[in-house]
Amino acid sequence: MTRLIFAIVAFACLAGAVQAQPANEDVTVRGNFPQLLARGETIVQLANRIAAKLITFDRLLAPACGMPRVFEFAGADYVDINDASRRVDTAQPGVWRIMVQGKGCWTPRLHNVFLFPRGASPAELRISVPGTSSAGVKHQQDATRIVLREANSLAARSNCDERAYLVEASVTKARRPGKAWMESWSASACDLVRKFSVTFTPEGGKMRIMVIPA
């Protein structure tokens, strides 16, 4: 298990930094995390938990290379739980999305973490699809299962016994209310990245998801 310890706190809890020492690799979390996101914990503790959620996944995307690994706060917005492309007022039902830029070792990568408040207790954190998907929380989870199932099936046909993991998602056809939209999702196994065209189609209050190898 990765053990994280906080190293620096600046700007009176408006900015936090966490340093970890997992497997001979230094990991730093930095940036101006909004104070209102930390309920029942400090900003440093929140950053600590985000790092613990992301580190294993980030190592898949960017294997250790001797460079410092940095998770940098890249923004937070309050979005419709069914439409991550639509920001809503905090007085309305929604979910916080925290964006974290992974740096060091290979190319920069954008992580997303959904934060679900739990009253006075620390919020629940769920890792989202990396990149810029417009799908809501549940539909991202549904699409993830389908994409990984297809990626694992393709990998098995090429005698790869590694489990696939998601690399990135991006919107290829913008989302419009009540209309289908398209995204490009990438999954990797045995050092081979495969791309999939993912179409989300709203139908009578439900969402149909179609995944096709690109």
pLDDT tens string, the chain, 214 residues long: the values are: 333 333 322 222 223 344 433 445 678 888 888 888 898 999 999 998 999 999 999 999 999 888 889 999 999 999 999 999 999 999 999 999 999 999 998 889 999 999 998 888 999 999 999 999 999 999 999 999 999 999 999 999 999 999 999 999 999 999 999 999 999 999 999 999 999 999 999 998 899 999 999 8
User: Is residue 150 a contact partner of residue 186, using CB atoms and an 8 Å limit?
Assistant: no
Query: For residue 29, what are its two tokens?
Result: 């979390």
Question: Per-residue DSSP letters for 103-136?
Answer: ESSSS-EEEEEEEEEETTEEEEEEE--SB---B-
The secondary structure element, H or E, covering residue 161 is: none
Which residue is listed with tokens 């969402």?
A: 207
Q: Which of 77, 107, 127 is the last residue of a domain?
A: 127
Task: Kindly tell me the sign of the dihedral angle through the C-alpha atoms of 12, 15, 16, 17.
Answer: negative
Q: What's the structural domain count of the chain?
A: 2
Asked if 174 and 121 sit in the same domain, the reply is no
Asked if 26 and 106 sit in the same domain, the reply is yes
Is there a domain that residue 132 lies in?
no
Distances in Å between the Cα of 166 and the Cα atoms of 117, 147, 196 are 26, 8, 11
Query: DSSP alpha helices (H): ranges in the chain?
Result: 43-61, 137-157
Q: Which domain holds residue 92?
A: 4-127
Asked if 80 and 17 sit in the same domain, the reply is yes
User: Nearest Cα to 48, choosing from 58, 38, 57?
Assistant: 38
Q: Which of 127, 150, 166 is the last residue of a domain?
A: 127
Is there a domain that residue 147 lies in?
yes
